């Protein structure tokens, strides 16, 4: 992790992280997401991560339904047990006023907040990764639109196939 200062003002300090998730959140801020405060902390695995908040409070809007949560947790238990690592996605989240999309396949049963899936921030570099649902719930786009669930999403392939297609196209196509 290193700091970049744009000017002599304290507000111009940008902290750059080596961890992919943290870099993604810094990119979100640089791409025009407003109302975000980025803070850094070191987790148990000694990797830097970013915590997002909207105007000093975490948004409490549920992003997934109870049925989706139970399917994500079931997939998370299978993934933790090593039974199936290439799962079929359960839910797709997106920003209506930006080009960020998350296709989630599992939820960590240990904390119930850490999801695994395909991350596409709209910058041409989709990748598999983990994210916290509480962080996603706190994101708002340039026009103050929160992250939303795609109610009409019907997965038709495994997560690895979504990743391959997204890498080929530079974004999640369906």
pLDDT per residue, tens digit, the chain (174 aa), is 444 444 444 554 444 444 544 545 544 444 444 443 333 333 333 332 333 334 333 444 589 999 999 999 999 999 999 887 789 999 999 999 988 999 999 999 999 999 999 999 999 999 999 999 999 999 998 999 999 999 999 999 999 999 999 999 999 987
Q: Residue 160 has what pLDDT? A: 95
Q: Are strands 48-54 and 36-42 parallel, antiparallel or unpaired?
A: antiparallel
- In the chain, how many domains are there? 1
Question: Over pLDDT 70: what percentage of the chain?
Answer: 65
The pLDDT assigned to 174 comes to 78
Q: Is residue 78 part of a domain?
A: yes
Residue 124 in any domain: the answer is yes
Kindly state whether residue 174 falls inside one of the protein's structural domains: no
102 occurs within a structural domain? yes
pLDDT at 18: 43
Residue 62 confidence (pLDDT): 82
What pLDDT score does 133 carry? Answer: 95
Domain range holding 45?
A: 2-169
Q: Are 100 and 120 in contact (CB under 8 A)?
A: yes
User: Does residue 68 belong to any structural domain of this protein?
Assistant: yes
Any domain includes 73: yes
Count of helix runs (H) and strand runs (E) in the chain: 4, 9
Q: Measure Cα distances from 86 to 70, 98, 119, 160 in Å.
A: 18, 28, 15, 6
| pLDDT score, position 3 | 45
- At residue 93, the pLDDT reads 96
Q: Are 142 and 100 in contact (CB under 8 A)?
A: no
């Amino acid at each position: 992790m290193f700091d970049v200062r744009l000017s002599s003002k304290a507000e111009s300090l940008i902290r750059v992280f080596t961890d992919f998730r943290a870099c993604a959140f810094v990119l979100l801020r640089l791409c025009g997401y407003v109302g975000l405060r980025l803070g850094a902390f070191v987790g148990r695995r000694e990797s830097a991560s970013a915590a997002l908040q909207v105007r000093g409070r975490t948004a409490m809007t549920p992003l997934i339904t109870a049925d989706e949560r139970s399917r994500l947790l079931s997939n998370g238990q299978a993934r933790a047990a090593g039974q199936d690592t290439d799962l079929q996605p359960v839910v797709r989240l997106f920003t209506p006023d930006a080009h960020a999309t998350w296709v989630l396949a599992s939820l960590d049963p240990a904390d119930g907040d850490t999801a695994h899936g395909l991350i596409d921030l709209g910058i041409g570099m989709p990748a598999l990764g983990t994210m916290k649902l509480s962080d996603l719930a706190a994101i708002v786009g340039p026009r103050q639109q929160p992250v939303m669930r795609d109610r009409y999403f019907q997965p038709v392939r495994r997560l690895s196939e979504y990743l391959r297609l997204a890498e080929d196209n530079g974004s999640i196509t369906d």
